[in-house]
Amino acid sequence: MDLHQFISTPKSPSGSEPPEHSPDVVVITCADARVKLQELLPGLSTFEIRVAGNSVSPGALSSINYAVAHLGVQQVLVLGHTSCGAVGAWCDGIADQHLLDFIKPIETVMSAAGYRPTSFESPTQAAAANAIGQAELIMNSDSRVGEMIKEGSVQVLAAVADISASSPTILPASSLI
């Protein structure tokens, strides 16, 4: 598809009001195009934060805070996935300067949990450990969402999407390690 042609083709404005913004869940997931949330979470309205390796940067944390404090979202899902190139880069010890901004946050949570790239039997296990680590980072953050999780008004979950399956599935990350 030619993107320039797509966005420059005139479309008639609908003229209607935008729908109310009331998502069901905040999803922090990877930028990987194969992670298709509408197939993985059918019927749910998702407030999506995407960055390679689904890591929780300061900007991501601020977006989560906005969703829970201003949009009333009560569920936060950190969703890793199988065959994740970002987690794979950490596992392979890649130190490319251009990639460090997403590899470092993975390294931070992995080393905090005592994991090394050799700790895992499979890349999927590493993706699960990263998802759990990023979820713990949200929970333990000095932020509104951290407070709300501790109060019990917001729930945070870590999971891994199997993007290789013919029908997409999501498994709790803790079941994979």
Interface with Zn ion (CB under 5 A): 30, 32, 84, 86
CB of 164 to Zn ion, least distance (A): 13
Nearest-approach distance from CB 114 to Zn ion, in angstroms:
23
Q: How far is the CB of 89 from Zn ion (least distance, A)?
A: 10
| Torsion angle in degrees (nearest 10) through CA of 7, 63, 56, 177 | -90
Complex with Zn ion: residue 69 or 117, whichever CB lies closer: 117
Compare residues 34 and 116 and give the one whose CB is closer to Zn ion: 34
The smaller minimum CB distance to Zn ion, of residues 30 and 103, is found at 30
User: Nearest approach, Cβ of 22 to Zn ion (angstroms)?
Assistant: 28
CA-based angle 123:28:105, to the nearest 5? 60
Burial of 124 (0-12, 13-18, 19+ CB in 10 A): buried
Q: Which is nearer to Zn ion, 86 or 132 (CB)?
A: 86
